[in-house]
Chain A
Amino acid sequence: MREMIKMVLVLTVITAVSGGILSVLKTSTEERIEGQILKFQKAPAIADIFDTATNDPLKDRFKILFEDEEITFFPGKLEDGSKAVAFEAKGGGFGGDVGLMVGIDLESDKIIKARVTTHSETPGIGSRIKDDPAAFLSQFAGMGFDSNFKTKNDGGDIDALSGATVTSKGVCIAAAQVKQLYLKLKPQILNKMK
Chain B
Amino acid sequence: MAQSIAKEFTKGLWTEIAPFRIVLGLCPILAVTKTVENGIGMGLATTFVLVFSNFFVSLFRNIIPAKVRIPCFIVIIATFVTIVELLMQAYTYPLFLKLGIFIPLIVVNCIVLGRAEAFASKNAPHLSIADGLGMGIGFTLSLAVLSAVREVLGTGAITFYETPIVLFGPAFEPFTFMVEAPGAFVCLGLLLCFMNLIPKK
Contact = CB atoms under 8 A, between A and B. Distances in A.
Majority secondary structure of chain A interface residues (helix, strand, loop or mixed): helix
A118 interface: yes
Contacts of B155: 123-124
A183 interface: no
Nearest to A11: B68
B190 to A, nearest CB: 21
A14 B65 contact: no
B196 interface: no
A120 interface: yes
B86 A29 contact: yes
Interface string A37-57: 101110000000000000000
Contact of B97 (A14, A32, A118): A118
Interface residues of B, number: 32
A39 B90 CA distance: 11
Contact of B34 (A3, A15, A36, A123): A123
Contacts of A120: 98, 100
B179 A123 contact: yes
A3 B65 contact: yes
A18 B64 CA distance: 15
Given A14-B72, A122-B179, A25 B78 contact: no
Contacts of B68: 7, 10-11
B168 interface: no
A26 interface: yes
Given A3-B65, A11-B72, A118-B97, A18 B90 contact: no
A18 B79 contact: yes
B166 interface: no
A122 B34 CA distance: 9
Interface string B66-98: 011001100110110011001101110110011
A33 interface: yes
A28 B71 CA distance: 28
10 interchain residue pairs of minimum CB distance: A36-B93, A18-B79, A29-B90, A32-B90, A7-B68, A33-B89, A40-B93, A7-B65, A29-B86, A33-B90
Interface of B: 34-35, 60, 63-65, 67-68, 71-72, 75-76, 78-79, 82-83, 86-87, 89-91, 93-94, 97-98, 100, 154-155, 174, 176, 179-180
20 contacts: A3-B65, A7-B67, A10-B68, A14-B72, A18-B79, A22-B83, A25-B87, A29-B87, A29-B90, A32-B91, A33-B89, A33-B90, A36-B89, A36-B91, A39-B93, A122-B179, A123-B34, A123-B35, A123-B154, A124-B176
Given A40-B94, A124-B179, 6 more contacts: A6-B65, A14-B72, A14-B75, A18-B78, A18-B79, A29-B87
